[in-house]
Every structure is written in structure tokens, then in C-alpha cells.
Structure 1
Amino acid sequence: IPLLGIILHLRLVEKSGEADRVVEMAEKYLQWGFQCVELLLRKSASLLAIGQEAEAVQLLHQCVALDSTGRVARRIWGEHHPYQSLWPMKMECYFDLPLPVAVATRLTGAWLPPGEVIMRPSPESSDLKDIEERAQETISLDVNPDREGNPIQAEVYVQPAENGMDAPKVSPLTPEEVKSIEGELRKIAIRIKQPVIGRSDGRFPVYVIFSSKQGLIEQYGEQTAQAIDLEMQRLGEAVKKRTGWDSLVFYPDAPDLAATYGLQPLTERDPWKLKLSLSDLDKALSKKGKMIGMLLIVGGPQVIPFHELPNPTDDFDEKIFSDNPYATLGSNYFVPEWPVGRLPGAAGPDAGLLLDQLRRQVGYHNGAKQKKSMGESSILWPFLWMFDALFRILQERNNGGENAGYTAAVWRRSSTAVFRPVGNPAKLLVSPPQDTQNLPVEKLLQTEVAYYNLHGMEDTPEWYGQRDPFDPMRGPDYPVALTPAQLKRNGHAPRVVFSEACYGGHIVNKTEDTALALKFLSLGTLAMVGSTCIAYGAMTPPLVSADLLGNFFWQQMKAGRTAGEALMIAKIEMSREMVRRQGYLDAEDQKTLLSFVLYGDPLVRLENREKQAKTTLRLKKHPKIAVVDEKPVESGEPGPLSFKVLEDVKQKLAGYLPGIDTAEIHIAAQSGSDNPALSKGGKGMQHGKCYVVTVSKQVPWAKTIHRHYARATVAADGKVIKLAVSR
């Protein structure tokens, strides 16, 4: 293959945006003996794009040595490219070695005039002060006073002068100078279009497999617990084989293991103490330059209990089961600091479901490693890759509707917006008319992605549809849309499932026959996202709550993120968007962030996105989120909202709650929504003090009771600024 053909091939691959592919191809060509600067430059740029900064910078320095004038880099990226500061502005070097006598004699009469002595600027110089002032505008290193270790000090080694003069004294860098240097590094990160690097924690990520030895023994027995431990160790070894990850199995109640990290073993499985043990583990890892990169909880709530958090909304739930606190170091657990997944077992002593999941995850990671190396030994590999890439592009264009989506008719418009990133909205299944009698179950199981936006209840395993009252087609108001019994083992299961159904992720005291989340996992689903309690969403765009979270989740999965990263980033993006709209997170926002959990491996990606993998960096500073509380308006107080406003709210909700005239209505005042110090710039803050009108109704249907909740946020002037309905 001619070198020009290889360069052209690499440029075409670069156009596709698959940086990981560019790196693989460049490495292969370099192994074949094709050495050129352009090949190295394009590889280094792609390494930066996938987060491998150390190797990329090393390659860039190698390119500077090979092309000292930077001509190739300018030809590729233009005169003012992001890496131009690496090349010398002037081709000169400092030469202070004594000349041999023979050489000095020959150079007699050709001596250059003495140059000026360039002094190192003092800390008080104006240039250094300018740098320090600019650095104040940047984000600095997260200095944790509680973390063990001495303050960072950088020392500069200066070689003694040979002429007998005293070498200049250089003192350790002050914290202000460290901040100044860091500020300049962050500017470089922005210049190379990787601003997150400047805010990220640079420690090496560790995939932590987390469980309780005593909890496993109590639920499954000692012999079965040993079998589970063996599979956990195998999973850890499989993850270690993947590039960029270390792994460890951590039992906080195992004395010998806790002593390895200098920790005290736990004597009880209190959720808060388990959370603190993870914080202690992260501190212990930091001494070795490592950090918790992802967390996999092994076991259901009988082994590692959920955190039971207070419910911020005025609805049926007494508490919220959540894994969010396991994802943070502090008490701000609305936004995770690292991805968290859980491999749950069914209630009872049968460990079959848990063992099956562990073995399936081991097979997934080993298979991903083998698939990555398939065909690379063949000389036809570049052409096979091009054919595979073309086939996948055509498949995505022609078969965009192959992924499955299933929604209740009453909110099909919002479901269309959620599903669009990964599927054809025109092929969404809608209930009614779809129900258990005419549902194409095989289609739901033979897809890679499955999205559900149906009704769910706490005490029944089924998910339900809901008729759109404005649809002239007649039918049942709440048809049974899907049951666990319909999902048969046939060797197929969607890789990733996202459900907005109320209690779609509720597994406490459940088995695979009484919880659809566990049923999907038993069939082979690798990642299942659902809510442990009542979930809220929109009837029509703009999307809110679970709809907004689902849309961001699918966007991130399509972009190549892992399931754990996708859910974590979706929660961050949802928080950012709602703060932009309102200036704060209200009650249903908070409940959405806390209640949605991931069952499965947080390292799972979509099949066609393995080569487009992106790296999520853990930030050094956890963002602070403004939240508001709700205080019920006492019945004896004068009504804050007029009768006309309440009628307007009822009219807007009539399509969701038939018979709304008999529904219960509660009014609460948002505490703090009129405080401008909460968050500056939120569009919702212009409304001042706001009230929340909660409309609830119980609808008996087929031996069950459907509980419906609708929440309207109303400004003091009577304007309805947000509507959310329960799923």
C-alpha cells in the first residue's frame, strides 16, 4: 500500500469522527513500517479526543523533534493551530560547553559578539503578576484539607555554575504560583478544545466491585457466597484487561480486606456507614494516585441496602429508595461524582439471577476485548474496517426504527421526543391500541435498545397504557401493556432498557416474576434504568423530569458513553437545564434525580458505539445545586391562588385526569423560589414566589387502583409555568 494511500485513508476515517478508529489504524500502519510525521500528528490528535492525554503529548513532542519548523502541523491544521506553542518561535539554543582547542583555533576571528544576559523574572515582576491575575479566573486544583499528605511543593533543580559564581537560589513554589501554573495549563486545555481536562481529577480510575460478605452469607449461605465471590474476582480480572482501567473487589465488612487499605471494618450494614466506607476507600486510593472511577454494587437491597431518602413531593410515596449517595463523597447527592450500577438478586435464597448476571458481565468484557483484536492480524484489515464502517452507517440510516419504543397514548408526543436520538419515532408502539393481546413481543426482545413510557404501580408487576381522551378511537382507559409472563427466554434481550414507568425500578421484596426490571435482567439485558418510586414527566414538549432525563440518557448512549456514564451525565445535564429554566431544582426534579437507578454493569456500551467510546473525567469540584422546598398552605390561610387560576390548572390537566372535578387538590408554596441568591440567571426566577398545585385522583380499574398525580407550578400572578404528570 503506498504511503499516500495510507494518509488519504486516515483522513477519510478522521472525517467520520471515530477517534478510536483513527488511533487503531495509525498504530497498525506504524507497525507495518510506515513512519511519517503526519501519521503521528493525526494519531496524537485522536488520542487527545479519547482522553489519553499523556501518550498524546509524548507523541506531539516526538513530532516537534522530527519537524522542528512545524511545517507539517501547519499544513494539516493551519497557521494558528491549537498545538503551535509546542514548536519553538526562534530556532536557537543555549550552548555553554567549552570548545576543544583545535576547534577554537580554527574559529579565530569568527566569534559572535557577546549576547545579553537574560535574567529570570522575580516573583514581583509585572509579567508574573499578570499571569497570576489571569489564573485567578480559572479553576484551581481541589485542595482537600482532610486528605492525608503534605501540601504540594515543586522544587526546581539548578546545576551549579562552573565559573565559580553562586547559583541562583530557587525556593519551593508557593500555592499562588501553583495556581498560576495551573491556570496556564487550563488555558492550554481550552485551546486544544479539551476544557474538561483542566477541571478533571487526574488520578487513575478504578472499577470498584462493592458488596457485603455478611450480607451475601445471610441471604444465600456461605457456600453460595463463595461462588459469588469467585465470579466477582473473575469480573475484576476481565475489567483489568480493558485499556485504561484498574479494578478491585471491596468488602467493607471484611477485616483482612479493610486492613489492606488502612480502614476499620464495618460491623453493621447501615447505608450511611457503607457510603462513608467508599469515601475512606477513595482517600486510601488517592495515596497511590488512584480514585474510584466506577462503582458496581453486587447484591440487592438485602445485601447492600438502598438509601431511604425523604420524598420532596406531595404524593403517595413515603420515601425514595436511591443509590445516589453511593456515588458521592459528600452530602450533595443529587448529582453523582462517579457512575454507579447494581447487579441485584431476587428476593429469597436463590442466587441464580445474581450469578447469571455476573457471568454474563464477565463474558461481555472478555468478548469486547477479543472483538477489538479480531482481524487485526490480516493485511486486509483496513479494507475490512472500511466495509464494516460503511455497513454500519447504512444500517443506521435505513434501520433507525429497529430499536423498540413503547408508550402510553396519552403522552405519545413527549415519548416521541425522548426516543428520537436512538430510534424512529414513527415506529413507537402505542397503548392503546397495543396491549397484551396484540403486542409483538419478539420485536421488543430482538432489539439492542428498548424504551418504555408506560404506567406502573407498586404492588403489581404489569405496566399499563392509557387512552388519549382526545382520540376518537374507543377502547379501555388503562389496558395492560406488558407483563413479565410475556417475556420468554429465547436467547434474545435488549442490551439497554430505559423505563419511565412509576416503580419501573422497584425491586424490594420482588422476584423476576413480580418485577419487569428483574425479568429483563434475567433474559440477558446488560443495563436497565428505572425509577424506584413514582416518576413524573410531561404530556407534551418541553420535556421535564423523567422525559428530560431519558432524552439526555439516549443522547449520551448514542455518543458512545457507557451506561453508567450516560446516566450520570444525563442527571448533570438535566440539573443544568432545569436551573437554566427555573433557577433551581423543584420537588419533582429532585425526586427524578434520586429515584432513577441503574441495574447492570456501568461499563456497558451499545454494540455499534464500542469504537466511538468517549472518556468521562471525574471533576475535582462537585457542583453545588440550588434546590427549593415545599410548605403546604394551611387551610385557614387566605387563598394565594384565585378560583380562576385553579380552574385554568384543571382545564390543562383534563386530558390526563378524566373526572378531574372530583380530584383532590393541595397547594404548597415553594420555599426559597423568590430568593435571588439561589441561582442567578435562571429564567424561572423572574416569576418571583411560586406555588405548586398537586391534583391527585384514584381510579379503580380491573381489581387495582391507579393513583394519578399531576403537579402544576404557578407563579404569583397566576401564570402556569410548568406541568408534570405521574407515570
Structure 2
Amino acid sequence: MKAIITNKAKLQKKFMDEFSEIESKLAEYCNVFNGKLFYTDKTKSEEIKKVFDGAEKENANSFLIVGGNDVIPFFKLKNPASDDGDEIVYSDNPYASKDNDYFIPERSLGRIPDGNNANFLISVLENLINFKKDRRKGKFGCTASEWIKASKEVFKAINGRTLKISPPVKSNNINIKWTNKKKFSYFNLHGSEETKYWYGQKGENYPVAFSPENLNVVNCINAVIFSEACYGANIINKSINDAISLKFLERKASCVVASTKIAYGPSEPPSTDADLLGKLFFKEIINKETYGVALMKAKQNFVVEGSKKGYLDATEKKTLIEFVLYGDPELSI
């Protein structure tokens, strides 16, 4: 059973007359995916977690949050890498944990954000209801010039060959053919909490490499996206055209995995931090694991790899909690 968890009162207040259509779509979603809808009136993440625990006692084996931070809030966790400017880390990891160790998830979990737009939420639910596997195999990868060697190592996990490099690639010279109808997209770019763009880098040059507008007419049906960009999954107070992650969902991508805060990675192999997590996630996806299980196993295996030195360092701990999954955790390629 899939547990679908949201806050009815918050959705009603937020979307008013449009809520009835959202509720109808949620009911249809439950019918299609053998789901059970769990409405909660709790507003604190620690209390909402008990809904997950209760759903598991009813034999739920995957968990789907519906709504943004103002409907079902992210946990606000202490930043393990406390000197990088992020005071807290927005995370769904504790919802995926059965105990107090929120670094290691034990549940298959995803979130469908609402994009502060009822039509967007209804459309994403509809897209996932109509999900049908296809034979697409194309890949798109884009990396900052400074990280070419490291990015190639991750891109190999999906048998990717030719990465687009920024610079010279910029958002204003991206060819739609590069991104259209691709099964996988991988990004190793800079991101910003203040803007909607992802940036390349060469020396002190940080050109805009990718923007939501680059997806305006792109067919992203069933696409799986992994982005290492800082704040790549930041959706708080963002509209669809203010966040690339939301734009991918609008264009019918089925899975977006990205970071809510500042992410870390090496400039060259071996893969560590976000690079390692991306590589492990793609490996599970290629092995036909569901999206939620793929991210869960990737984080579990990340801990195994990181612990070989005897401990997890601050950036490894941050990586584990800041990467979230937008999409249905039970789907797969």
C-alpha cells in the first residue's frame, strides 16, 4: 500500500474553490496506485512523522507527501556542515526514517510539491496517473567546466558519454534537441538560493548555464533528473517558473532528485558527497529499482562507503539529509 499524506485544511485554505478538484484527483490517484489517503491536521514535522509511523502499521510500504513546505513542512535540521552559511537544512529524511537516526532512511519516500498553483498540482498528479513506461534511453548531462572529470565519472553510471560543458555552453545557446525526450538528465552546476538559474564555472567566470525557460517547450515525459546544483530542490516560496525542479515536473518528468541547500562534490574522481550519491542513485535506477527505493538504497550504500574510513564527515552527513525526491516513489524506468 502507498500512503499518501497531506493536510486537507492547509490545501483548502491555500487553493479554496480549486480544492475539490485536487481532492477528486487524489481519490483517483489512490484508486490507480493502491493508495490510502492520510489527512493530518498537524503542522509540526515531528508530529506529522507519527502519521508515517501509523501508516506503516497499516502495511504501507511507500510514502508520498503531497504539497509544499507550507502544507507538509520539511524538517528543519541542524546543518552538520555548520560553517557554510546554511543555518538549517530542509529535509524529508526523518519522514523516511523509522527511528531517531535520520541520516539513514528506511522508507521509500517522495514528495509532489504544489508549486503554489492548483493547476500545476492537478497536472502533476494527472501526469503520474497516466504514467506508462517507454523505451527512451537518451541522456543529457551538463557540468561546470571546473568539474568535468568528476562529472564524467557520475555520468558513466547511466552510460552517458558526451557532457555539455559550461562555459562555453550557456542557457541562451542550449539546443532543445539536447534536452528533448531524454530519459535521464544529470547536472553538476552551481545554484543559488536567490535566483532561478544554475551556473557554469571556468575560473572566475560563472555564466548562466540553465534556466526554467530552457524547458518551456521540452518534452520531459518520464524523465529522471539528478542535479547537484546547490539549492536545486529549493521550492520554498517559489513558483513554477522560479525553480528548475518544478519546471521539470510541469514538463512531465517523473522524478527529480536534488538538494535543498548548499551541496558538495569533488573537482575530480574519486566520487564523494553529491557525486557519490548521484552515482549510487543512477546505479539503482538502471537496475530498475523504484525511484523511492533507489534513493533509499543509494543513501544506505553512501553510508557504507563513507564509513569505510571509520566515520561520516560533516559534508557527507549534510549530503544525506539535503537531497530529496520529487515524484512518486513507486514508479521506475
* Contact 1:445–1:493 (8 Å) recurs in 2: no
* Contact 2:176–2:218 (8 Å) recurs in 1: no
Residue 87 of structure 2 corresponds to residue 318 of structure 1: yes
* Contact 1:493–1:520 (8 Å) recurs in 2: no
2:175 & 2:79 partners in 1: Cα distance? Answer: 37
> Match for residue 322 of structure 2?
595
Which of 574, 577, 583 is equivalent to 2:302?
A: 574
TM-score by length of 2: 0.95
Residue 3 of structure 2 corresponds to residue 208 of structure 1: yes
> Match for residue 424 of structure 1?
160
How far 1:491 moved relative to its partner?
4.2
Q: Report the CA distance shift for 1:212/1:451 in structure 2 as closer, same or farther (over 3 A).
A: same
1:238 & 1:532 partners in 2: Cα distance? Answer: 30
Which of 38, 41, 44 is equivalent to 1:250?
A: 38
* Contact 2:3–2:55 (8 Å) recurs in 1: no
1:408 & 1:491 partners in 2: Cα distance? Answer: 24
Amino acid at match of 1:280: G
- Structure 1 runs (4+) deviating above 6 angstroms are none
Residue 236 of structure 2 corresponds to residue 236 of structure 1: no
> Match for residue 408 of structure 1?
144
* Contact 2:167–2:207 (8 Å) recurs in 1: yes
Which of 457, 461, 467 is equivalent to 2:196?
A: 461
Classify the secondary structure of the residue corresponding to 1:320.
strand
How far 1:303 moved relative to its partner?
0.8
> Match for residue 112 of structure 2?
343
* Contact 1:450–1:494 (8 Å) recurs in 2: no
Structure 2's unaligned 5+ residue stretches are: none
Deviations 1:509-531 (A, max 9, x none): 00111111111111111110000
1:329 & 1:505 partners in 2: Cα distance? Answer: 24
How far 1:312 moved relative to its partner?
1.1
> Match for residue 353 of structure 1?
120
Residue 332 of structure 2 corresponds to residue 563 of structure 1: no
2:75 & 2:306 partners in 1: Cα distance? Answer: 24
Deviations 1:53-97 (A, max 9, x none): xxxxxxxxxxxxxxxxxxxxxxxxxxxxxxxxxxxxxxxxxxxxx
How far 1:298 moved relative to its partner?
0.6
Residue 331 of structure 2 corresponds to residue 604 of structure 1: yes
2:282 & 2:102 partners in 1: Cα distance? Answer: 22
Deviations 1:662-703 (A, max 9, x none): xxxxxxxxxxxxxxxxxxxxxxxxxxxxxxxxxxxxxxxxxx
How far 1:252 moved relative to its partner?
2.4
Structure 1's unaligned 5+ residue stretches are: 1-205, 241-246, 254-267, 286-290, 372-391, 397-401, 470-475, 607-727
2:172 & 2:239 partners in 1: Cα distance? Answer: 24
> Match for residue 276 of structure 1?
50
> Match for residue 36 of structure 1?
none
Classify the secondary structure of the residue corresponding to 1:452.
strand
Residues 615-694 of structure 1 aligned to structure 2 (within 5 Å): none
> Match for residue 300 of structure 1?
68
> Match for residue 310 of structure 2?
583
Q: Report the CA distance shift for 1:309/1:232 in structure 2 as closer, same or farther (over 3 A).
A: same
1:605 & 1:277 partners in 2: Cα distance? Answer: 25
How far 1:493 moved relative to its partner?
4.5
Classify the secondary structure of the residue corresponding to 1:215.
helix
1:309 & 1:359 partners in 2: Cα distance? Answer: 32
2:166 & 2:261 partners in 1: Cα distance? Answer: 22
Deviations 1:384-404 (A, max 9, x none): xxxxxxxx7xx97xxxxx311
Residues 390-409 of structure 1 aligned to structure 2 (within 5 Å): 402-409=138-145
* Contact 2:170–2:209 (8 Å) recurs in 1: yes
Deviations 1:127-169 (A, max 9, x none): xxxxxxxxxxxxxxxxxxxxxxxxxxxxxxxxxxxxxxxxxxx
Q: Report the CA distance shift for 1:441/1:316 in structure 2 as closer, same or farther (over 3 A).
A: farther
How far 1:604 moved relative to its partner?
1.9
* Contact 1:457–1:463 (8 Å) recurs in 2: yes
Deviations 1:505-563 (A, max 9, x none): 00000011111111111111111000000000111111110000000011010011111
> Match for residue 502 of structure 1?
230
2:214 & 2:142 partners in 1: Cα distance? Answer: 15
**Larger Rg computed on CA atoms:** 1
2:261 & 2:90 partners in 1: Cα distance? Answer: 7
Residue 233 of structure 2 corresponds to residue 541 of structure 1: no
Q: Report the CA distance shift for 1:447/1:494 in structure 2 as closer, same or farther (over 3 A).
A: farther
1:517 & 1:492 partners in 2: Cα distance? Answer: 12
Residues 467-486 of structure 1 aligned to structure 2 (within 5 Å): 467=202, 469=203, 477-486=205-214
Deviations 1:472-505 (A, max 9, x none): xxxx711110111222135444611110000000
* Contact 1:445–1:494 (8 Å) recurs in 2: no
Count of residue pairs the alignment pairs up: 332
1:600 & 1:445 partners in 2: Cα distance? Answer: 19
Classify the secondary structure of the residue corresponding to 2:14.
helix
Classify the secondary structure of the residue corresponding to 2:238.
coil
> Match for residue 118 of structure 1?
none
* Contact 2:80–2:318 (8 Å) recurs in 1: yes
1:535 & 1:336 partners in 2: Cα distance? Answer: 19
RMSD, matched Cα: 1.7
Q: Which has the higher contact order (CA 8 A, sep 6+)?
A: 2
> Match for residue 448 of structure 1?
183
2:184 & 2:268 partners in 1: Cα distance? Answer: 23
